[in-house]
Chain A
Amino acid sequence: MGKVVYAAAMSHVLFPDYYGKNVGPHGRRMVEELIAVVREMGRDMVAARPDALVVIADDHLNVFSFDAIPAMCVRIGRSVQRMVQEDAIEFDQALDGLPLRYLLHEDLANRILEEGMEAGFDFAASWSAPLDHAFLSPVSTLCDTQPVPPLVPFWVNCFVSPQPTARRCYAAGRHIARVVGDGPWRVAVIATGGLSHFPELSLARVGTSDAAFDRRLIALMEKGDHETLCALTTKELDLTGSHEYLNWLVLMGAVGAARARVRFFGEMGRVDLAAVEWATA
């Protein structure tokens, strides 16, 4: 019987130069502290000996265009490439030194997709979508010098309305947990992104966050109050710049009724940074 052996969520722009430039020394220091915590968390993840690493993250319109945006998408196939783009935005340039190709856990990805269709989840499938910083910054920081486990990348449409609801994302996570439970593998699951930044996806509001809302989310996660989190509306998530919290909701569905252990929370002003773990016993 399979098992989720490690579960965590974390902010995904793990690039000190970006914050140094856009926020200043305070921003740089804060993300460096977060990176150190994520590396520690990675040691726990590696010690759990996962056969596969499911990564729940979003697309920053690097992969999917306005021609078709899947609500949720499973990356299938044998391997996946790192996104390569000439003159990419700073935090994707930070991926430049990383390996170009990563193994996928083809069997687990296929089961999540195929059993999802049978269970009423109309996931999209991609054989070619590459991975940007939302996936590879956390994965490379967690794994550090250790080999990256075979990946199952899972995209959630966080940015192009209409997005899936919080409750639907949580239900997708419950589905992932069922597939893992029915399979033979030890599986690590992470969600990335957040916390509050880019409220209303408004260029005029870039540089602001909603720390009060994030403190509320942290308290609810620590309490394990998933019902209240599932009731968050798309409008609330948009107004507070919590679009990427949808990824976290998928993860919370995968871990079930566990309480979160907050490893890092920092209010930067431009974005609030966090790293959180869940017990998977």
Chain B
Amino acid sequence: MSRYEVNVLLYRLKKDSAFRRRFRDDAHGALSGAELTDEEREAFVTWDTLRLNELGGSLHLLISIPGLGEH
């Protein structure tokens, strides 16, 4: 499990509005360079926050990404 990679991406989604727009328009493309397992990539693409949290994604990042963080 690449906890670091998952959280670096979540942090970027929170802080980088251009990346966030790109992710919303084309999640597969936005994640193309990321070193993720298939399971992690699928959780990002389907925006399955419960699964991302189970895979090591920080709760505080997941709930604070503008437009995507719901709690």
A interface list, Cβ under 8 A from B = 22, 60-62, 65-67, 85-89, 159-160, 198, 201-204, 206
Considering the complex of A and B, which 5 residue pairs feature the smallest CB-CB distances, nearest first? A87-B66, A203-B53, A201-B59, A89-B64, A66-B7
Q: Mark B1-43, 1 if CB is under 8 A from A, else 0.
A: 0011001100100110100000000000000000000000000
Q: How far is the CA of A202 from the CA of B51 in the complex (A)?
A: 10
A66 touches B11 (CB 8 A): yes
Size bin of chain B's contact surface: 20 to 34
B66 touches A86 (CB 8 A): yes
Highest count of chain A CB atoms <10 Å: which of B17, B50, B58, B67: B58
A198 to B4: give the CA distance in the assembly, Å: 21
How many whole Å from B11's CB to the nearest CB in chain A? 5
A202/B71 in contact, CB under 8 A: no
Is the Cβ of A88 less than 8 Å from the Cβ of B66? yes
Minimal Cβ-Cβ distance residue in A for B52:
A203
User: Which one, B8, B58, B69, contacts A201 given CB within 8 A?
Assistant: B58
Could you pull out 23 A-B pairs where Cβ atoms are within 8 angstroms? A60-B60, A61-B11, A61-B64, A65-B8, A66-B3, A66-B11, A66-B58, A85-B15, A86-B17, A87-B67, A88-B64, A159-B58, A159-B59, A159-B60, A160-B58, A198-B59, A201-B60, A202-B53, A202-B59, A203-B49, A203-B71, A204-B50, A206-B63
| Distance between A186 CB and nearest chain B CB, rounded to angstroms | 35
Task: Check A203/B63 contact, CB under 8 A, given A89-B69, A159-B58, A160-B58.
Answer: yes
Determine if A65 and B11 form an interchain contact, defined as CB atoms under 8 angstroms apart.
yes
Does B61 sit within 8 A of A, measured CB to CB? yes
Within 8 Å CB of A67, what residues of B?
A: 8
- B-side binding surface: helix, strand, loop or mixed? helix
In the complex, chain A residues whose CB is within 8 Å of the CB of B8: 65-67
A66→B71 contact, CB < 8 A: no
**How far, in angstroms, from A154 to B64 measured CA to CA in the complex?**
22
Q: How far is the CA of A85 from the CA of B50 in the complex (A)?
A: 25
* Distance in angstroms between the alpha carbons of A249 and B66 in the assembled complex: 32
Given contacts A201-B59, A203-B50, 20 further A-B contacts (CB under 8 A): A61-B61, A61-B64, A66-B8, A66-B11, A66-B58, A67-B8, A87-B17, A87-B67, A89-B64, A159-B60, A198-B59, A201-B53, A201-B58, A202-B53, A202-B59, A203-B62, A203-B63, A204-B50, A204-B53, A206-B63
Closest-by-CB residue of B relative to A65 is B11
Interface centre among B3, B8, B61 (most CB of A within 10 A): B61
The interface residues of chain A lying within 8 Å CB-to-CB of B17 are: 86-87
Residue of B nearest to A66 (CB): B7
Distance from A68 Cβ to chain B, minimum over Cβ atoms (Å): 12
Q: Which residue of B lies closest to A86 (CB)?
A: B17
Distance in Å from the Cβ of A153 to the closest Cβ of chain B?
A: 18
Instruction: Give the shortest distance, in Å, between B9 (CB) and chain A (any CB).
Output: 10
Contact at A89–B63, with CB atoms within 8 Å? Answer: yes
B64 touching A60 by the CB < 8 A rule? Answer: yes
Bound Cα distance A65, B59 (Å): 13
Chain B residue contacts of A85, Cβ below 8 A:
15
B39 to A: closest C-beta gap in Å: 17
A206 to B8, CA, bound (A): 22
Q: Which residues of A contact B3 (CB under 8 A)?
A: 66
